[in-house]
Amino acid sequence: MRTAPLKEEEQEYRILCQVNVDAVCRMIQGEVFKVAVGPGAFVERIEWLAAHYERDEKIVCHPSVICAKCEFRATAEEEAKGLRSGFKECWEQSLKWDDKDFETPNVLHIWNYRGKGSLLAENRIAMSDVTEADIQPKPDGKPGLSLSERQWLQVRKVQTLDDSFWIEKAALKQEMQQWRFPLHFIDFETTRVAIPFNRGRHPYELVAFQFSHHIRHQDGRIEHKGQYLNIERGVFPNYDFVRALKNELESDDGSIFRYATHENTTLAAIDLQLAKDPNPPKDRAALKQFIRSITTSPKKSVEHWQGERSMIDLWEMVKRYYYDPATNGSNSIKAVLPAVLNTSEYLKKKYVQPVYGEQGNIASLNFQDKVWIKIEEGHVIDPYKQLPKMFSDVSDHDFKRLSEDDELRDGGAAMTAYARMQFEEMAEAERETIREALLRYCELDTLAMVMIYEAWADLVK
């Protein structure tokens, strides 16, 4: 849906307004904050921090749960190039650790564990210090692992030096037998920006600009069936996005797969946009019917529905039925895919050949004769690291944070690329390079889902 450019008189309107925040400032200045070290009163703390800065004196803090999200990290390769890890320096000073200590899994790595703060306060840092009583694993009445059982499995494998993967074959096989062919694997890229790209839209309103779609047929055939990407300025893409997705999925009743909740949340948001649009498209009813047929209403939704073909969440399958210590507790697809590739002999044998994008084998819209299994020092190279850089002016370190950070799992690099193409003036060659990179990254996301499925199907047969 194309929106007309802003008129000259419309551009005179301010998009920002003044808000009196005196009361908020007084509240902050008068509050005493709970802090790990130093004064908690606002003014005293500012002075304390300023004094340390003036003296160039590092503040040494005991490790806490916030260390898990520390952005001042560097890999061994980056340190070899001269970069410094603030995280390591902090822990070295506080705990007197050396390089070997950092190779040992610590409690920050325990997946979704709420007791990390207590363990750190007791100076129980290494995962070897964790006891079964700390985790208290117990079933939740559902197939596969409960949250606490998965946490204890992770800890126990570290403590027993067991690096083998775990899979609940019987329960997973039972789930997989209920899936209907052809299997559809989809992945979306979206963004929410403070200043809307299009007139008539709202701050932080969802924009869905890309998807990828793979199919796995019952006879074993795999194809990258379709994709959608809008990078044109002045276009609100959401309705065309759904039309294209509908066209991809409506020809059969095969099971549809997503990874985590993002795809369901996205379609539910577009359903609401369609409902509230004062100038809706003529096919609003058909688009809403399609959306609700493959989604489940969000918990906070005023309306409630359960689509007869609601998407299956592979992320939930991973959490329940599969764990590999190589993921270090992460369930991100960017952690699970390399782990699966390193343990699946089926995948190694298949993708060590240039079958992906090869005529007569696996059809691809963006790759030709691609070899995904490349071994270096005994391990499969992460496929995501085989892709070209998306931006020429972004460092490898920053791009890694954009594309691998769990909080940016739903396309941090893609969101950045889309925003730049909407707001920045750039040469056509640069736009084309970014467009091609977006298509390849999104295609790999759905191929990763296919590969996980293939590995499981081979293991449970």
Per-residue pLDDT of 165-209, as tens digits, reads 999 999 999 999 999 999 999 999 999 988 888 888 888 999 999
Describe the crossing of helices 169-176 and 314-321 by its angle, rounded to 10 degrees. Answer: 160
Res. 447 pLDDT band, cuts 50 70 90? very high
Region 274-299: mean pLDDT is 96
pLDDT in tens, 61-71: 889 999 998 98
Report whether pLDDT(151) > 60.
yes
Work out the number of other CB atoms within 10 angstroms of the CB of residue 306. Answer: 9
Which is it for strands 206-216 and 183-192: parallel, antiparallel or unpaired? antiparallel
Amino acid found at 301: S
Report whether pLDDT(139) > 70.
yes
Q: Are 236 and 207 in contact (CB under 8 A)?
A: yes
Q: Across 63-72, 297-306, 315-324, which has the greatest mean pLDDT?
A: 315-324
Measured CA to CA, the distance from residue 194 to residue 181 in angstroms comes to 41
Longest Cα–Cα distance of the chain, Å, equals 71
What's the pLDDT score for residue 404? 46
Report whether pLDDT(263) > 70.
yes
Report whether pLDDT(155) > 90.
yes
What the block records as the tokens of 115 is 């007791």
What's the pLDDT score for residue 409? 39
Q: Are 268 and 291 in contact (CB under 8 A)?
A: yes
Spatial CA neighbour of 70 closest among 40, 44, 108, 114: 108
Measured CA to CA, the distance from residue 311 to residue 257 in angstroms comes to 5
Eight-class DSSP state of 5: P
Average pLDDT, the chain: 91
What's the pLDDT score for residue 390? 62
CA distances from 90 to 12, 101, 320 (A): 49, 13, 36
Element (H, E) at 215: strand 206-216
Residue with tokens 């739903």: 410
Res. 32 pLDDT band, cuts 50 70 90? very high
What's the pLDDT score for residue 185? 98
What the block records as the tokens of 238 is 């959401």
Element (H, E) at 295: none
Measured CA to CA, the distance from residue 1 to residue 210 in angstroms comes to 15
Region 76-105: mean pLDDT is 90
Report whether pLDDT(13) > 90.
no
Spatial CA neighbour of 231 closest among 459, 428, 401, 93: 428
Q: Are 166 and 145 in contact (CB under 8 A)?
A: no
Report whether pLDDT(370) > 60.
yes
What's the pLDDT score for residue 406? 41
What's the pLDDT score for residue 325? 96
CA distances from 14 to 18, 195, 205 (A): 10, 12, 19
Measured CA to CA, the distance from residue 414 to residue 435 in angstroms comes to 10
Sequence-ordered alpha helix ranges (H) in 103-146: 116-121, 132-135
What's the pLDDT score for residue 132? 97
pLDDT in tens, 394-438: 455 444 444 444 433 345 778 888 888 887 888 888 888 889 999
Amino acid found at 59: I
What's the pLDDT score for residue 450? 98
What's the pLDDT score for residue 78? 87
Measured CA to CA, the distance from residue 143 to residue 407 in angstroms comes to 28
Res. 451 pLDDT band, cuts 50 70 90? very high
Region 429-455: mean pLDDT is 94
Work out the number of other CB atoms within 10 angstroms of the CB of residue 376. Answer: 9
Q: Are 108 and 102 in contact (CB under 8 A)?
A: no
What's the pLDDT score for residue 403? 45
Res. 246 pLDDT band, cuts 50 70 90? very high
Element (H, E) at 258: strand 256-258
Report whether pLDDT(141) > 90.
yes
